[in-house]
Amino acid sequence: MVTTFGSFFTPCVEIGWRIKKEDWGNGYATEAAKACLNYGFKILQFDKVYSFTSTINLRSEKVMQEIGMVKAGEFDHPDIPPDNPLCRHMLYKIEGQGDEV
């Protein structure tokens, strides 16, 4: 997905996941994200990919770390009201790699 809302890192290629709650903790997000990154870097020739989530979503942050992403900062999401607890986001990034993710 190409993310285009106004921020210091956009436009960018974003990776994300949504998993039904009853399927959390089985490694599905991590496995699928690794496959997507491999395809994105090797076939689509992306040079970097970003991911972001609200700071309270520690499960998604863990997936980002497990797939080799590094924290690149934090920001307030421009489409979420400032008083909403989901407004503050953490940003992760991974750069293109020659080897499998």
Tell me: pLDDT of 100 over 80: no
- The domain tally of the chain equals 1
Contact criterion met (CB below 8 Å) for 69 and 40: no
Q: Establish if 101 belongs to a structural domain.
A: no
Among 40, 57, 50, 70, smallest CA distance to 10 is for 50
Is residue 69 in some structural domain? yes
Answer whether residue 100 is part of any domain: no
Look up the CATH number of the domain holding residue 43: 3.40.630.30
Task: Name residue, tokens 């076939």.
Answer: 43
pTM of the model: 0.91
| Percentage of the chain lying above the pLDDT 70 cut | 95
For 25, the domain range is: 2-95
Using one digit for the tens of pLDDT, what is the confidence trace for 60-75? 999 999 999 999 999 9
Token pair in block for residue 48: 């970097």
pLDDT in tens, 82-92: 999 999 999 99
pLDDT class for 9, splitting at 50, 70, 90?
Answer: very high
